[in-house]
Amino acid sequence: MNLLQTVVAFIVALGTLVVIHELGHYLVARWCGVKVLRFSVGMGRVVWSRRVGPDQTEWAVSALPLGGYVKMLDARDQDVKDIAPEDLPREFTRQNVWKRIAIVAAGPIANFLLAIVLFAGLYMHGIEEPATRIAAPAAQSAAAQAGLDRDDVIRAVNGNAVQGWSELRWQLIEAVVESKDGEGARIEAERPGRGRYTFTVPAATLRAVDLDGDVAGALGFNIRLPAPVLGKVDPAGAGGRAGLRTGDQVVAMDGQPVADIGAFSAAIRQAAARTVQLDVRRNGELVRVPVVPEAVSGKDGVTVGKIKVELLGRPDMIVVADGPFAALAKAARKVWDTSVLTIRMIGRMIIGEVSWKNVTGPITIADYAGQSSRIGLASYLSFVAVVSISLGVMNLLPIPVLDGGHLLYYSLEVLTGRPVPERFGEIAQRLGVGLLVTLMALAVFNDVARLL
């Protein structure tokens, strides 16, 4: 069932993004007076089509479900003699350079607009997410060294206010990326009974954080979780055999207080095949229960402890909601910030400061589509918006074959007053195809490596 949901979620997301992207090209081409011959969802051989409208534009579905295209009347694809005289003014290459730029740029712009609409809708509806109240920072972490403590609430990063955990995590990622330019992160926090205070995480500390991992966690920022209360207890598991019961609240382990669910889970994982003394509160009384967590081999081959009990509770949650104009402005800023961060990440990869493992392909995207759809509609729409931004940015890269490559040609035409030589364009196209195939191969390799 999960596999089917993942496949459906991936197809719906990808199909929507492709249609919106190509619809941008199509609508602006029609607005500029260019004749459109085919609108295809998918690449390769056409498996279904229907002709519609006065121009008898062919609306098609093609065999390869990755991508799509809009085919316009273009003298580069056919002999001018085969074009009807009345259609010559509507041929693509006969349009002025600004119209060609508008047509090519319309696809990525449509992706950005879709992301803005989706984010704005989510912000107006309201998004429930964990508050920025943190757990006790790990020893030696940047948060611990700054004096942060359990129950502190993070209010802003580098002057940017944060309401929910997703905003905090995003601002910390941006701070790590900007640290490559020697900038630290100024954190504003609030503590019950103390009020607001500010501290700075040095750029050197930020630069040491691996962008491939949990950035917030690496800096010592983790969501404050509730105290561990047991839900369902597996009678055949280590906890059930030891006598743990539903409703027990774990207050200490081996005489050391247990702060929350996260701390308890981590302690049990590290206690494989070793007897631990759990102090639990049961019906108002403290009871000591000796437990021997089972040794289980994890996915990475590391042995961890398991006691097979359910832990109840969730972190403090808030609903982040905005009015229409504020939501629209916030969504536009989100799209801009995400686009800029994506470009910076690409730049860091090119110069070797960020791992190429960050390049993901269709398998990882499908996995995220399935995961987000199982969480809920808001999570899924947010995922679609982020992928739409990525699609828009990637298409604007100055790589021949992509929209950005064509925009580069037309920009040179604006500067020089003449089109790029046809021979130069052909060579650049071959290089662009080679580069694109290489990037796709790298993405698939990274996807497979993650699975293994």
CB 175 within 8 A of CB 206: yes
| pLDDT value at residue 325 | 92
Residues 79-124 pLDDT 10s = 767 788 888 889 898 899 999 999 999 999 999 999 999 999 999 9
Cβ contacts of 198 within 8 Å, gap of 6 or more = 186, 187, 188, 189
Q: What value does the CA radius of gyration of the chain take, rounded to a whole number of Å? A: 27
The confidence band for 299, taking pLDDT boundaries of 50, 70 and 90, is: low
Residue 362 has pLDDT above 70, yes or no: yes
Work out the average pLDDT over 50-69.
88
Query: Hey, do 133-219 and 229-314 end up sharing a CATH topology, with the first three levels equal?
Result: yes
State the number of CA atoms in the 13 A half-sphere of 354 facing the CB. Answer: 21
DSSP state at residue 83: S
Rounded Cα distance, 41 and 53, in Å: 18
Supply 162's token pair: 């944060």
Q: What is the assigned CATH class of domain 133-219?
A: mainly beta
Q: What is the pTM of this model?
A: 0.76
DSSP string for residues in 272-314: TTS-EEEEEEETTEEEEEEE-PEEEE-TTS-EEEE--EEEE--
Rounded Cα distance, 113 and 110, in Å: 5
The active-site residue out of 22, 91, 129, 188 is: 22
The per-residue b/e assignment along 63-98, b for 16 or more CB within 10 angstroms, e otherwise, is: eebebbbbebbeeeeeeeeebeeeeeebbbebbeee
β-pairing verdict for 36-52 and 309-312: unpaired
CB 392 within 8 A of CB 17: no
Residues 125-178 pLDDT 10s = 888 888 898 888 888 888 888 888 888 899 999 888 888 888 898 889 888 888
The yes-or-no answer on residue 310 being catalytic is no
Alpha carbon of residue 329 to chain centroid: 20
Residue 451 has pLDDT above 80, yes or no: no
DSSP string for residues in 411-443: HHHHHHSSPPPHHHHHHHHHHHHHHHHHHHHHH
* Domain range list for the chain: 96-126+323-451, 133-219, 229-314
Q: Which fold has domain 229-314?
A: Pdz3 Domain (2.30.42)
